[in-house]
Structure formats: C-alpha cells, structure tokens
Amino acid sequence: MKDYIFTSESVTEGHPDKICDQIADAIVDAALAQDPYSNMAVECTIKDDFVLIYGECNTKAELDYETIALNEIKRIGYTEEYHVHTVVNQQSPEIHNAVNRDEVCAGDQGIMFGYACDENDEYMPLTIYYAHLLARQLSKVRRQHPDLLKPDGKTQVSVEYENDEIKRIDTIVVSTQHSKDITQKEIKELIMNEVIKPCIDEKYLDENTKYFINPSGSFVVGGSWGDSGTTGRKIVCDTYGGRGRIGGGCFSSKDPTKVDRSAAYYSRYVAKNIVANGLARRCEVEVAYAIGKAQPVSLCVDTFGTGKFDDEKLLEIVKKNFNFEVGNIISELDLRKPVYHKTSCYGHFGDPQFTWEKVNKEFPNWKQNEILKKGKGLSRKYKIYNLYMKTLNKFTYKIYSTIFSII
C-alpha cells in the first residue's frame, strides 16, 4: 500500500495497565539490585482499591511486595487507599534447572521481533514516536497542574503517507483525566498550548490536521477506578505502535533470562544498527527460541524491499556480526542491572539511555566497499533505484526494470 494513514497510540503512567507494568518492573529492579541472578515472573492486576501481586520467582532478594506496589501507586499520583494481596510462589524447579545450566538458556520458548526505520533520529515509526512524546508531555503538564489534571491519560497520532513517504499528520487525539474544577474549554486550551504545540514539529501540520481533545467529554473517573489494569496488556504501545510485528509475550515483570524481553531488545538492537548503518530504510528481525536452549532455533531479516542487499545477504551479515546466544545477549547488553522500571512506560525502544539503543556496529566481518563496488548481492530493487536516480528518466527506468527482472 503506497498511500494510506497509519495510527499509533500511547498511554500515560496513570493508565491502569501501566500502573501494573510499573509495579511489576519495580519488583524486577528490586530483586536484581539485591541478586543480579534473580529469576522473576511476578505480575500485577488492579481494580478499584484492590491490587493483586502474583507469579513465580527464584531469588535471594528479600522483597516487600506490598510496599513496592503502594510506593509506585503514590509516586504515579494516586492518593486513594489501596489494599495489596500477594500470591508469589517459588519458580518451578524444572524451569529453573532448564535455564540455569553451564550456559544461560532461554527461560521459555517463543518468538520475538525487533524493528527500526529511518523516520526520525530514534529510528522509530513517527506515529509511536509522537504518541509517546505527547504522553510524556501530558504527564509533565499534569504534575505542573495537579489541581486540574489527573494521572490517567491517552494519546494517539495518525500520519498520512504518500507513496510510502511521510506527508503530514492527519489527526491528533489526547484524552486526559481531570478534576471537576476545570471546564472542557479550559482543558482544550491547556492541552493544545502546553502539550501539543511544544511536541509536534509544525512541518507535519497543516490547516486540515484534526485535533480531538477529550472527545468523549468529561473524564473525571480514571485509573483503576475507571477500568481494570493488568501487566503486559499494552505490548503494542511498548513496541512499535503496530508498525512492526510483536512477539508472543510481554516484557514487564520478566528478568533477562526470559527471551520475551532480552531477545526482543537484542532484535531491536540489530534492526536499528542495520538501518543506522544505511543498509536499509526499514528492517525487522525475528528470532525464535526453545526453552532450555541457548541458541535460537531460527533467525529472519525482512527489509520490506528497502535494503541495499537481498534479505538473505543481510541475514549472513547479521549472523557474522551479532550473537543471539542468550548468555551473550545478557552480557553484551548488560541486562542483569536494575534498569527495567525506566522501560515500563512510554515504550521500551527509542530512548538512547538503553544499551539496546546504541548504534555501535560497523560490521567488521563484512567487506562492504568491495561488495558495493562489484554490485554483488545488491537487491534488484536497490539496483533499479540507483540506476533510476542516476538517469532520472522514466523510460530508461522501465528498460532497467525489465533487464533486472531476469537477473
């Protein structure tokens, strides 16, 4: 599809699902801070004043689950009284023994995806980039106006593409929980002036851009009092806003031996380095594991026709320059540290503070210049594109297309 509108959404830290993600990752960090080899799978569910902490773990850390949960809820900005119930058991010895062998092995089977594109400096889709930016700004403004705005909120951005290139932002949606002491007109003015305008580059806006601020009207009841929340239900917000595919499991609540998390981070790391090194404009990396095995059972690269080389050639490059062994992922990305609470809201990807967001690969095992010079392994679409750009002649382009179609 060449001409279309694509949309992504984000939510604030006060959204009930995100409350649970933040509690779960605060527990992971508390465990890793005391015992870096903790195996954690402790999740959260919340509704009204009821908070359930449940799951399995194997750790030497002493964890006060109730205090961690209540501190998170208070930090987010909710002042009501909550009651915490805990059901956390020891991790199954069968799973524990499958993971902790002479080499670190996958804590479960599963598929993971990493994605990157060249739509901005973060190598993230523009839709989710701006949705997260708006959500962050909404939370910031809410803390500056605590008597007017409350913690729960959502954002959504629709981008129009023409010939697969960004043309403009078509629609922006912002919904914010608020007090009874502010009118909808005042909310619209506040959100437009202090949230939207500081975030969105004017070059993407025009007279036809639509703005929906609290489109349903009053939004006084929010958080767990307006909806239930559970860990792992915002996996699309956590990843690429629907632009790239997602794997079979969420991230929050899991230690790095859970490849749902660590291998998804590494796949993003690989995809981002491919795009950042100019090998493709879009790249998706899929990897799959079997429980109790250190090496992946499959690895796939898809550049959606934007690669300088065929995907098969890029897969060779990836295999020569990146190591998807579970132990290496944990070591290379330094994942046994308590860094996960920072990921639990506004996306796990795009923030340069994370190790999996570093661009530091120059593909030493690949003779790029020699291959480029000979044209060896170049994708047919890239050959045609280069020739077309050189000739700028549509008739010649058709001739070259015919020639390369049989190569």
User: Cα 381 from chain centroid?
Assistant: 29
Beta strands 298-302; 282-289: pairing state: antiparallel
Query: Which pLDDT tens digit goes with each residue over 68-126?
Result: 999 999 999 999 999 999 999 998 777 766 677 668 888 789 999 999 999 999 999 99
Residue 236 inside a domain? The answer is no
Instruction: Give yes or no: residues 37 and 61 share one domain.
Output: yes
Residue 48 inside a domain? The answer is yes
Instruction: Give yes or no: residues 282 and 297 share one domain.
Output: yes
- Residue range 237-264: mean pLDDT, rounded: 95
What CATH number does the domain containing 337 carry?
A: 3.30.300.10
Residue 362 inside a domain? The answer is no
- Residue range 256-283: mean pLDDT, rounded: 96
Residue in the structure block whose two tokens are 């992922």 = 329
Q: What are phi and psi of 230, to 5 degrees?
A: -150, 145
Residue 220 inside a domain? The answer is yes
Q: How many domains does the chain have?
A: 4
- pTM beyond cutoff 0.85: yes
Buried-exposed string 382-399: b where 16+ CB fall within 10 A, e elsewhere: bbbbebbeeeeeeeebee
How much is the pLDDT for 378?
57
Query: Which pLDDT tens digit goes with each residue over 121-145?
Result: 999 999 999 999 999 999 999 999 9
Residue 246 inside a domain? The answer is no
Domain that residue 83 falls in: 16-99
Residue 240 inside a domain? The answer is no
The closest of 192, 195, 227 to 211, measured between CA atoms, is: 192
